[in-house]
Amino acid sequence: MKTTITGLAFAASIFSTLATIGPAAAAETANIWVRADGSNFMPRIVDAFNKGHENQIKLDIIPNAEIIPKYGAAAAGGTAPDALSLDLIYTPSFAAAGQLEDITDWAKSLPYFDSLSPAHVKTGTYKDRIYGLPFSADSSVLIWNKKLFKQAGLDPEKGPTNWAEIEAYAEKVNALGGDIKGFYFSGNCGGCNIFTFTPLIWASGGDILTEDGSKATLDSPQLRGAIDLYRSMVKKDLVPAGAQTDTGSNFFAAFAAGNIGISPSGAFAIGALNTQYPDIDYGVTFLPGKDGGWSSFAGGDNFVVTKGTTKIAVVKEFLDFAYSLEGQTILAKYGSLPVRGDIANEALKDLDPRYKIAAEAMAKGRTPYSVVFNDLINSANGPWNQMINEVFFGEDVNGAIANAQETMQSIIDSAPQQ
Amino acid sequence: MTSIAAISSPARRRKLVGAGRRQWIGLLYVAPAVALVVVFFIIPLCMTAWMSLHNWPLMGAHSFIGLDNYWAILRDTRFWNALKFTGYYTVVVTIAIFVVAFPLALFIERPRPLTGFYRTSFFMPAVIGFASASLLWSWLLNVDSGLFSPAAFELGLTEKKVNLLATFQPAFWSIIAMVVWKVAGFTMIILMTGLQSIPPDLQEAAMIDGAGPLARFRAITLPLMRRTLALALILSVAGSVLAFDQFYIILRGGPRNQTLTAVYWIFNQSFVSFKLGYGAALSMVLLVILVALSLIQLRLLRQPEGVD
């Protein structure tokens, strides 16, 4: 392992510094970008790496919405960073665009390759070659407010385990009245709902896309069931009116304000609540299926390398560090779940025990695979977002599903085939 | 003939040289402006036109495809719908702005107590950027933590808090209100300068002839303000056709994609679907439409000014 890396470092540095004849150890600096979601843990791990290594990493933090266009522009201008911590769902489309370095051989040489987060590796693989490896992780879970549960006469230590319980508990909390509401979700945010709503469908045995992303499969009893659950809660006024137009800005803030009984959320909320809202007493559980069972959206970032970079050795050295126990512990401490299953427990052992639930959700979590994920799901004007808003709050559920099914399929079919 | 030419030519040449030099100096004076226009308008425009002839993804290689992007636009119903909505919005918002700005201009035109205060406060929203104003209104319009819905509820005007952004009509008119609030002050200042350029003796003469205020407004004020109106109208129409920020920030094109404007669609194609070449072609189409609109307006309002 070590020798391959040194060998590669040697080759790379000779390649990049043809003029200077010198030892392979000449210190180099690689540039890495991360989206703003990683602004908590990324600087910490980069600092730790830079302190202990001769080669250095220069980190740039880019606003979430801008990292894709900015990277595209930089790549076109030849100034792209050497590597990028990329929202994992974009890995297939970046790989399809021929923008990423094939790192299959290196990835498979890692002794712990098999215990790396499967969701990341799946999205990091394009046409049987690996272009991205897991870096940071976030899984979707259900959180509930223990204080409100107690006030409503519910067991504060027991979260809902199926859909009927979600609705019943939310109703009880809602009955407290005033500003207190039973349930919250961001009703106009495609990204939020693929993260927290689809696990309800998965846990019940349905799906919205086929495994390879080639077919949209919206018209299923499981999707309709989950829609009925949300519609019923909206109808009973268990959900604040603002949910209908929340484009995601209130995704976390609504629960953090302390007036919401139950809300689907993510592992990130554990770190954020603990540090920013220490007064909120909350529980974490899995997103359940209709009659029990559970599922989760395994999200986070893949680490990808820009095609043709000369600093690949530094980049690999950095990723090796991130995969070490030290690296995984730093990541976990500052808001990302560990991505190495084999040492996850060790990395989490001194942290908030609620992380364990999120880590387990991550390990068995799923991630839809599509080269047009942005168009289908994340776009505020895409078919998925339009559908969820209509089916949760509108009149014509059947029409909305049929329309979304058709639009999604046509987007998939007209995607560039390579 | 020749002698005349011989005599007159040196003088003429000297004159020409003088004029030439003056022109040369004039060019020098405008050179910075020309350079700015070339670098920041002409060159990007040519690049956009060039890109529009390519299949140009945000990442990866691009390839020349001739006019294919333009043929695709013809079949792009969502773009034409966006354009239709943009047209509707432009008409409504332009009328709304003038309906508010004209009375304001008449009100602040003549010196009276506190004129300075009124002018400043009416104009104030115009100095805020569209994005910041949108963020402000995004909060004001929020149903849970904003101002309008909770206030109406507390005052007993509505039975429960109404989510203004959830359905098309209230959402659309909220945006109109926000844009009028933001832009009317600017239009007001333009109209005011027009009003002030009308010689007061004309009004007095008409008054002596016995013309009432409405007749004077129709026969003197409006015709004499033709150019000012043209300027205000073109600025308003061009600004509205290019509307994007407020729909992106406050509504995200919702509810249910009913408020997608042309520029919003271009943005989506370029940076959500990563099709820069197609986005460029859409931009060229929008540019042509906008130039045509401006030419039509100029022509309609170019007629003689009556007294000049």
DSSP B198-256: S-HHHHHHHHHTT--HHHHIIIIIHHHTHHHHHHHHHHHHHHHHT--HHIIIIITT-ST
- Read off the pLDDT of each residue in A85-101 and give the average, rounded to a whole number: 88
Q: How many CB atoms lie within 10 A of CB A401?
A: 19
What are the φ and ψ backbone dihedral angles of A225, each rounded to 5 degrees? -60, -45
Of A73, A378, A380, which has the smallest distance from its Cβ to B253's Cβ?
A: A380
Over residues A319-332, the pLDDT tens digits come to 999 999 999 988 88
Backbone Cα Rg of chain A:
22
Percent of chain A's residues with pLDDT above 70: 93
CA B150-A192-A132 angle, to 5 degrees, is 155
Residue A380 Cα, gap to closest chain B Cα (Å): 6
Interface with chain A: mutation pick from B54, B58, B134, highest number of A CBs within 10 Å: B58
CATH 3.40.190.10 domain residues, chain A: 2-138+298-363, 140-297+369-413
Closest CA to A123 of A115, A134, A114: A134
Which residue matches tokens 């629960």? A255
Cis peptide before B255 (omega within 30 of 0): yes
DSSP B219: I
Residues of B in contact with A245 (CB under 8 A): 143, 163, 165-166, 254-255
The residue in chain B having the minimum alpha-carbon distance to the alpha carbon of residue A307 is B60
Q: pLDDT-derived band of residue A133, with 50, 70 and 90 as boundaries?
A: very high
Residues linked to residue A136 through DSSP beta bridges, in sequence order: A301
Over residues A151-191, the pLDDT tens digits come to 999 999 999 999 999 999 999 999 998 889 999 999 999 98
- pLDDT for position B219: 87
Note whether B254 contacts A: Cβ–Cβ < 8 A: yes
Q: Is the confidence at residue A229, as pLDDT, over 90?
A: yes
Closest CA to B64 of B50, B53, B74: B53
Of B59, B161, B253, which has the smallest distance from its Cβ to A75's Cβ?
A: B59
DSSP B221: I
Residue A382 Cα, gap to closest chain B Cα (Å): 9
Residue A29 Cα, gap to closest chain B Cα (Å): 25
Contact call for residues A262 and A138 (beta carbons, < 8 A): no
- Read off the pLDDT of each residue in A346-374 and give the average, rounded to a whole number: 87
The residues, any chain, with a CB within 8 Å of residue B53's CB and separated by 6 or more, are B64, B65, B66, B67, B69, B277, B281
CATH for the stretch A2-138+298-363:
3.40.190.10
Residue A214 Cα, gap to closest chain B Cα (Å): 17
Q: How many CB atoms lie within 10 A of CB B304?
A: 8
Across the A:B interface, residue pairs with CB atoms under 8 Å apart total 81
- pLDDT for position A417: 54
CA A228-A230-A235 angle, to 5 degrees, is 90
Residue B131 has which token pair? 């994005």
Residue A345 has which token pair? 């427990």
Q: Is the confidence at residue A26, as pLDDT, over 60?
A: yes
CATH for the stretch B63-300:
1.10.3720.10
- pLDDT for position A12: 43
Q: How many CB atoms lie within 10 A of CB B302?
A: 11
- pLDDT for position B141: 92
Average pLDDT, chain A: 88
Interface with chain A: mutation pick from B77, B144, B273, highest number of A CBs within 10 Å: B144
Closest CA to B103 of B195, B179, B223: B195
Does A63 or B172 have the greater pLDDT score? Answer: B172
Residues of B in contact with A193 (CB under 8 A): none
- pLDDT for position A96: 86
The residues, any chain, with a CB within 8 Å of residue B11's CB and separated by 6 or more, are none
- pLDDT for position B303: 62
Q: Where are the domains of chain B?
A: 2-44, 63-300
Residue B98 Cα, gap to closest chain A Cα (Å): 31
Least confident of A1-5, A201-205, A305-309, A315-319: A1-5
Residue A248 Cα, gap to closest chain B Cα (Å): 11
CATH classification for the domain delimited by A140-297+369-413, as one of 3.40.50.300, 3.40.190.10, 3.90.70.10, 3.40.50.2300: 3.40.190.10
Which residue matches tokens 């636009």? B73
CB contact under 8 A, A245 and B145: no
Residue A375 Cα, gap to closest chain B Cα (Å): 6
H-type alpha helices, A303-396: 312-323, 325-333, 344-348, 354-363, 373, 383-393
CB contact under 8 A, B142 and A94: no
Closest CA to A355 of A266, A226, A417: A266
CA-CA-CA-CA dihedral for A335, A340, A344, A350, to nearest 10: -50
Q: Is the confidence at residue A235, as pLDDT, over 90?
A: yes
Distance between CA A294 and CA A290 in Å, rounded?
A: 9
- Read off the pLDDT of each residue in A11-38 and give the average, rounded to a whole number: 63
Distance between CA A24 and CA A10 in Å, rounded?
A: 5
Residues of B in contact with A68 (CB under 8 A): 58, 271, 274
Q: Is the confidence at residue A226, as pLDDT, over 80?
A: yes
The residues, any chain, with a CB within 8 Å of residue A52's CB and separated by 6 or more, are A321
Of A98, A240, A390, which has the smallest distance from its Cβ to B256's Cβ?
A: A390
Contact call for residues B69 and B277 (beta carbons, < 8 A): yes
The residue in chain B having the minimum alpha-carbon distance to the alpha carbon of residue A179 is B144
CB contact under 8 A, B252 and A242: no
Contact call for residues A359 and A81 (beta carbons, < 8 A): no
Q: How many CB atoms lie within 10 A of CB A349?
A: 12
Residue A387 has which token pair? 């559908």
CB contact under 8 A, A241 and B252: no
Residue A49 has which token pair? 């790496």
CA A371-A38-A369 angle, to 5 degrees, is 20
Of A99, A188, A386, which has the smallest distance from its Cβ to B59's Cβ?
A: A99
Q: pLDDT-derived band of residue A1, with 50, 70 and 90 as boundaries?
A: very low
CA A380-A386-A390 angle, to 5 degrees, is 140
- pLDDT for position B21: 78
Fill in the amino acid letter for B107.
F
DSSP for A60-78, please give it.
EEE-GGGHHHHHHHHHHTT
- pLDDT for position A99: 87
The residues, any chain, with a CB within 8 Å of residue B206's CB and separated by 6 or more, are B215, B216, B219, B220
Q: Is the confidence at residue A11, as pLDDT, over 90?
A: no
- pLDDT for position B18: 65
Over residues A270-322, the pLDDT tens digits come to 888 888 899 999 999 999 999 999 999 999 999 999 998 999 999 999 999 99
Contact call for residues A248 and A191 (beta carbons, < 8 A): yes
DSSP A284: E
CA A234-A238-A242 angle, to 5 degrees, is 70
The residue length of chain B stands at: 308
Distance between CA A193 and CA A251 in Å, rounded?
A: 10
Interface of B with A in 213-232 (CB under 8 A): none
Tens of pLDDT along chain B (308 residues) come to: 444 444 444 445 555 566 677 888 888 999 999 999 999 999 999 999 999 999 988 877 889 999 999 999 998 888 999 999 999 999 999 999 999 999 999 888 888 888 889 889 999 999 998 999 999 999 999 888 889 999 999 899 988 888 899 889 999 999 999 999 999 999 999 999 999 888 888 888 888 888 888 888 888 888 888 889 988 999 999 999 999 999 999 998 878 889 999 999 999 998 888 889 999 999 999 999 999 998 988 887 776 554 44
Percent of chain A's residues with pLDDT above 90: 59
Element (H, E) at A129: strand A129-130
- pLDDT for position B109: 84
DSSP for B5-60, please give it.
HHHHHHHHHHHHHHHHHHHHHHHHHHHHHHHHHIIIIIHHHHHHHHHTTEE-BSSS
